[in-house]
């Protein structure tokens, strides 16, 4: 069938709360804009663990396996400690990224002028910020072997991990960056630590090689990761597409969150390889985590999750007009003063998670 | 003798220019405040390489070996490419850090109210920022083995590095952090990625162990490195002492540079173990690099180097009043409007490197 299959997995902490709002948004697009999709909700985390002994029960695994797109909420927090480490690991988000080979993690950083009052950066620094970090998500030090903890002959303990990249791993994520840049302002900045790490030397050489062979029309620059962290704060407007490895991307994208106004606003897409039918498995999730301190209070910001739905509309469903429509509705809601606690100025009225969902649906 | 031996090594790029100004400051303290020290200047980099075949010639190595404190300028940039990699490596800064076991790298981040006009962060975010990042400097992924580049059976290349920490390596740098915190606001924040890396699991466990055993009076918190990068931008005032591993410290301290107003302002001290005479080898250097784009123009900001002299006065010479005097002179110069190009507002008068040196000496 032509129906696109979407698995909706709220997960833990504030995940289910924010995902409930993006679910409403998905329903709206299915009903009002005839977006051809079937939704399947599934549980993840402590609740299914208590019922089945698995954080990722069979039903959820099946829903995710068969889905074209997964809308993911969040995982982690104190709930984690109630689940034994082995059970936790068996169904971990890192394991899912790996299982579905979701190697290209896209994190758009777009400043919302409406939020500049509550942002730490000056309005003139935020103004016009619009870039995408592409983080390699299935290799690097997150997955490198050998790894572990050992006891040394003198009784000390030693922890060790392996950072590593092969040329194919570098090439495919760099390709995603160059291709995306061509649809934007045609600039790629590759970030590494080639003055210290051999892994980064190979990274940089392979990016240069691919650029020369296939993308010499795209402007390519390189930054060391320490300098990149500074430049993101100093002048975030300079970037269009930034591509980097797994751990550097993890750090830089949180650093960049402040260049957008708030972490609670940031969506992400994690894309797998294109299969022979031209399809590409994808997982969409807000960049924020499970935020255990505010879970259950109904005050979390659902916009990171709702903007992830816009990425789903654009990338999996190939509905750019609908994606634009949703992104504009979010801006309209913000411009009309809708604020959850995390983005509210002192003294301003604070909407609940559901009320922010209402505000976006009202603007659609 | 009671004389403290200081080796002054300007190095490459803007290093010699900024170091010439901190040399004047050192001379002032020797002459006017009777600070008991002998200075020995030595060369490093391309110039001695062309004369001797070594970036670190024997004379320089000897000066550094016998010194209690090294005042270092900068290294790197295009000059690097004129020196073969092997010769470069033989005398590298990383090698020196390792040779002298300079494991505790202190990077104070203090906001200058005078600079808030040219800073990317809002004045109310910068206001009152005063913390120290202690970066472990002689282990971690910078030095971990195995490392290298290999060709795989299928013809691909693979780069790999080893992140690693032993409990002793963690313990001694954590000790530096707890001890420093006791002289300040008594708070330590330890930064790791213990939700992913075994190295970080050992890091966190050992920090907790040392805290329990010897420093339970100090407030200890933990952050994941991605969250730390964000918090440094979001609300830098929350930190007092932050302690972390080598690569995380490299990235976070550049990110934090913007929380001080400018990279050009930041000093650092790298400290070795305390020997049986109570002495501790130290290398002082500005956090900024060789800045090849502005080298030789006489416009670099010498304040990072001059404030490194203040750290030298405080930590090696044990002259806190003199350190305070120098830090106040820098603030006085800034308050009176002295600005090099990197910290000048649009339209403001820009001082040369030498003129900024004059301004600080004038304020002393
Ligand atoms: C929760 C954690 C394992 C994860 C990561 O480090 O990838 C998170 O920080 C993220 O960025 O998605
Ligand atoms: C030049 C480079 C090797 C160095 C580092 O990464 O340690 C620099 O960035 C620093 O922070 O001193």
More confident residue, A77 or A166: A166
- pLDDT computed for residue A261 by the predictor: 74
Rounded Cα gap, residues A302 and B106, in angstroms: 40
| CA B312 from centroid of its chain's CA atoms | 12
Q: Is pLDDT at B82 greater than 90 in this prediction?
A: no
Model confidence pLDDT, tens digit, residues A79-124:
567 888 888 888 899 999 999 999 999 999 999 888 888 899 999 9
Inter-residue contact B8 to B19 (CB < 8 Å): yes
Q: How confident is the model at residue A42 (pLDDT cuts 50, 70, 90)?
A: very high
Q: Is B229 in Cβ contact with A254 (below 8 Å)?
A: yes
CA B194 to chain centre: 25
Spatial contact of A232 and A259, defined as CB atoms under 8 Å apart: yes
Interface contact flag, B158 A148, Cβ < 8 Å: no
* pLDDT for residue A50: 92
Residue B124 belongs to a domain: no
| B323 & B333 share domain | yes
Distance A250 CA to ligand 1 centre (A): 7
Query: What number is the average pLDDT over the span A23-48?
Result: 96
Using CA atoms, how far residue A209 sits from A169, A171, A198, B89, in Å, is 14, 9, 17, 25
Distance B196 CA to ligand 1 centre (A): 8
Which pLDDT belongs to residue A79?
59
Give counts: helices (H), strands (E), chain A: 13, 12
Kindly report the protein residue whose alpha carbon is nearest to atom 11 of ligand 2. Answer: B250
- Same domain flag for A292 and A230: no
Residues A247 and A312 in one domain: no
Q: What is the pLDDT of residue A259?
A: 80
Has residue A137 been placed in a domain? yes
Q: What is the distance between the alpha carbons of residues B352 and B339, in angstroms, rounded to a whole number?
A: 9
Task: Determine, yes or no, domain membership for B122.
Answer: no
Q: Give residue A78's pLDDT.
A: 61
With a 6 A CB cut-off, is B226 part of the ligand 1 pocket?
yes
- The catalytic residue positions of A are 142, 193, 226, 250, 254
Q: Mean pLDDT, chain A, as a whole number?
A: 95
Q: Encode pLDDT of A249-295 as tens digits.
A: 999 999 999 888 788 999 999 999 999 988 999 999 999 999 999 99
CA B222 to chain centroid, in Å, comes to 23
Tell me: do A70 and A87 sit in the same domain.
yes
The Cα–Cα gap between A150 and B158 comes to: 25
Q: What is the pLDDT of residue B78?
A: 62
What CA–CA distances, in Å, run from A54 to A17, A307, B225? Answer: 22, 30, 29
For the segment B97-136, what is each residue's pLDDT rounded down to a tens digit? 999 999 999 999 999 888 888 899 999 999 999 999 999 9
Note the pLDDT tens digit of each residue in A299-334.
999 999 999 999 999 999 999 999 999 999 999 999
A170-206 tens-digit pLDDT? 999 999 999 999 999 999 999 999 999 999 999 999 9
Nearest CA to CA, how far is A148 from chain B (Å)? 6
| CA B227 centroid distance within chain | 23
Cα–Cα distance measured from residue A243 to residue B170, given in angstroms and rounded to the nearest whole number: 31
Q: How far apart are CA A123 and CA A111, in angstroms?
A: 10
**Is 90 exceeded by the pLDDT of residue B86?**
no
Residues B91 and B137 in one domain: no
Identify the domain boundary among A201, A227, A259.
Answer: A259
Domain end among B243, B259, B275? B259
Q: Among partner residues B76, B162, B248, which is closest to A160 by beta-carbon distance?
A: B162
Q: What is the pLDDT of residue B244?
A: 98
Asked whether B195 lines ligand 1 (CB < 6 A), one says yes
Integer Cα distance of B267 and A261 in angstroms: 30
Give the model's confidence band at A77: pLDDT under 50 very low, under 70 low, under 90 confident, else very high. Answer: low
Are A207 and A311 found together in one domain? no
- Give the Å distances, CA to CA, from A15 to A18, A290, A299, A350, B148: 6, 6, 12, 20, 41
The count of other CB atoms within 10 Å of the CB of residue A222 is 17
Place of tokens 């000897």: B62
Residue nearest to atom 4 of ligand 2 (CA): B250
Residue B117 pLDDT: 86
Residue A255 and residue A271 in one domain = no
Question: Is residue A86 domain-resident?
Answer: yes
Residue A248 and residue A141 in one domain: yes
Task: Please give the distance of CA A40 from its chain centroid, rounded to a whole number.
Answer: 21
- Centroid of chain to Cα B193: 23
Is A122 domain-assigned?
Answer: no
**What does the pLDDT read at residue A87?**
87
Query: Which among B283, B290, B247, B319 is positioned nearest to B32, based on CA atoms?
Result: B319
- Specify whether B233 is located in the same domain as B188: yes
Would the CB atoms of A263 and B230 count as touching at under 8 Å?
yes
Q: What is the pLDDT of residue B80?
A: 62
Angle B151-B155-B156 from CA coordinates, rounded to 5°: 70
What is the DSSP-derived secondary structure letter of residue B237? G
Q: Is residue B306 part of a domain?
A: yes
Residue with the smallest CA separation from ligand 1 atom 4 is A250
Which backbone phi and psi does A233 adopt, to 5 degrees? Answer: -85, -40
For A192, A226, A227, the CA distances from A206, given in Å and listed in that order, are 12, 21, 21
Distance between CA B364 and CA B358 in Å, rounded?
10
pLDDT recorded at residue B161: 98
Residues A249 and A276 in one domain: no
Q: Is A268 helix (H, G, I), strand (E, B) or coil?
A: strand
8 A C-beta contact, residue A284 and residue A104 = no
Q: A10-14, A20-24, A75-79, A111-115 — which is least confidently predicted?
A: A75-79
Burial of A321 (0-12, 13-18, 19+ CB in 10 A): exposed
List the single residue in A149, A165, A195 with the smallest CB-CB distance to B201. A149
Residue B307 lies in a domain: yes
How many angstroms separate the CA atoms of B354 and B302, rounded?
8
In the predicted model, what is the mean pLDDT of chain B? Answer: 95
pLDDT interval class at A345 (50, 70, 90): confident
Domain CATH number, residue B316 = 3.40.718.10
Q: What band does B345 get if pLDDT is binned at 50, 70 and 90?
A: confident
Q: How far is CA A159 from the centre of its chain?
A: 28
Same structural domain, A341 and A291 = yes
On the question of pLDDT at B261 being above 90, the answer is: no
Q: Within 10 A of B264 (CB to CB), how many other CB atoms are there?
A: 25
CA nearest neighbour of A333 among A16, A21, A108: A21
Ligand 1 centroid–CA B93 distance in Å is 33
Q: How far is B160 from chain A (nearest CA, A)?
A: 4
Nearest CA to ligand 1 atom 5: A250
Helix (H, G, I), strand (E, B) or coil at A338: coil
Q: Do A162 and B166 touch (CB under 8 A)?
A: no
Find the domain containing B195 and state its range. 130-147+160-259
Sheet strand arrangement including A157-166 = A148-151, A157-166, B157-166, B148-151
Q: Which residues pair with B274 in a beta bridge?
A: B280
Annotated active-site positions of B, please?
A: 142, 193, 226, 250, 254
Q: Of B259, B275, B299, which closes a domain?
A: B259
Tell if the CB–CB gap between B161 and A164 is shorter than 8 Å. yes
Is the pLDDT score of A20 beyond 70? yes
Domain count, chain B: 2
Residues of B in Cβ contact (< 8 Å) with A163: 141, 160-163
- Please state the separation of Cα A166 from the chain's center in Å: 23
State whether B249 and B143 are in the same domain: yes
Residue A48: inside a domain, yes or no? Answer: yes
Cα(B142) to centroid(ligand 2), Å: 10
């Amino acid at each position: 069938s032509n129906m696109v299959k979407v698995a909706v997995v709220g997960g833990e902490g504030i995940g289910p709360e924010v995902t409930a709002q993006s679910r409403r948004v998905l329903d709206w697009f299915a009903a009002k804009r005839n977006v051809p999709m079937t939704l399947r909700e599934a549980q993840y985390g402590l609740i299914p663990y208590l019922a089945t002994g698995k954080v990722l029960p069979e039903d959820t695994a099946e829903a995710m396996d068969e889905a074209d797109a997964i809308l993911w909420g969040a995982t982690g927090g104190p709930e984690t400690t109630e689940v034994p480490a082995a059970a936790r690991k068996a169904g971990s988000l890192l394991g899912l990224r790996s299982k579905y080979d979701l190697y290209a993690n896209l994190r758009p950083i777009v400043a919302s002028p409406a939020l500049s009052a509550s942002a730490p950066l000056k309005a003139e620094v935020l103004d016009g910020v619009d870039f995408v970090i592409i983080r390699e998500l299935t290799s690097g030090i997150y997955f490198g072997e050998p790894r572990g903890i050992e006891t040394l002959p003198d009784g000390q303990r030693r922890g060790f991990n392996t950072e590593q990249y092969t040329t194919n791993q570098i090439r495919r994520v760099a390709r995603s960056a160059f291709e995306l840049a061509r649809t934007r302002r045609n600039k790629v900045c590759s970030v590494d630590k080639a003055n210290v790490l051999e892994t980064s030397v190979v990274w940089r050489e392979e990016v240069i090689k691919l650029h020369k062979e296939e993308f010499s029309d795209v402007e390519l620059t390189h930054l060391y990761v320490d300098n990149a962290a500074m430049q993101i704060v100093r002048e975030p407007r300079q970037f269009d597409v930034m591509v980097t490895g797994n751990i550097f991307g993890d750090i830089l994208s949180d650093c960049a969150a402040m260049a957008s106004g708030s972490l609670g606003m940031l969506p992400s897409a994690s894309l797998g390889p294109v299969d022979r039918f031209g399809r590409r498995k994808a997982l969409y999730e807000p960049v924020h985590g499970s935020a255990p301190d505010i879970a259950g209070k109904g005050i979390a910001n659902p916009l990171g999750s709702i903007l992830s739905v816009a990425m789903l509309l654009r990338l999996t469903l190939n509905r750019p007009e609908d994606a634009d429509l949703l992104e504009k509705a979010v801006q309209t809601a913000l411009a009309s003063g809708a604020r959850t606690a995390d983005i509210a100025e002192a003294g301003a009225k604070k909407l609940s998670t559901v009320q922010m969902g209402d505000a976006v649906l009202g603007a659609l």
